[in-house]
Each structure stands twice: as C-alpha cells, then as structure tokens.
Amino acid sequence: MRRITQHLPATYAAHLDDAQAAGAPEQQLQAILAEGLQQQYFKDRGRQADGLLVEFTDIDYAELSF
C-alpha cells in the first residue's frame, strides 16, 4: 500500500470538476486523477520516467480537496 500526498495543478482540478459536473463515470474521474498523479508525482513534472503509464486501481482510500 502506498500513501501519496500530492498537490495537483489547477488544470487537473478543473478537469475533474468539469467531468464530475457533466456526470462522468467513476472510471473517467479515476483516469483524470491517474494522469495528474502520473505527471506530478511519478514523472516529477516531466523530469523522469518518460515512458511510465499510471493506472488508478485498487484504491483503499482517497481524500481530495479543492
């Protein structure tokens, strides 16, 4: 299990908010969050792990604030 505390850029928050307001399914919201974590946390804003792809699966707990 991995605990991640990460601030995402406002563009990802806006994308999540827009998708949720449009009634996007949970899978789509998870994909947006995975992309944000991929870029910010795992790829360090493009400075490492260029070919890495992140999937948001088997989540035990998630807390988001905007």
* CA-closest candidate to residue 49, choices 58, 39, 36: 39
Buried b (16+ CB within 10 A) or exposed e, 17-54: eeeeeeebeeeebbbbbbbbbbbbbebeeeeeeeeeeb
* CA-closest candidate to residue 63, choices 12, 1, 6, 18: 6
Q: Global pTM?
A: 0.70
What pLDDT score does 22 carry? Answer: 97
60 — pLDDT class (breaks 50, 70, 90): confident
3-42 pLDDT tens trace: 778 888 888 889 999 999 999 998 899 889 888 888 888 7
Identify which has the larger pLDDT, 46 or 48.
48
Where are the chain's structural domains? 25-55
- Tell me the two tokens of residue 66: 């905007």
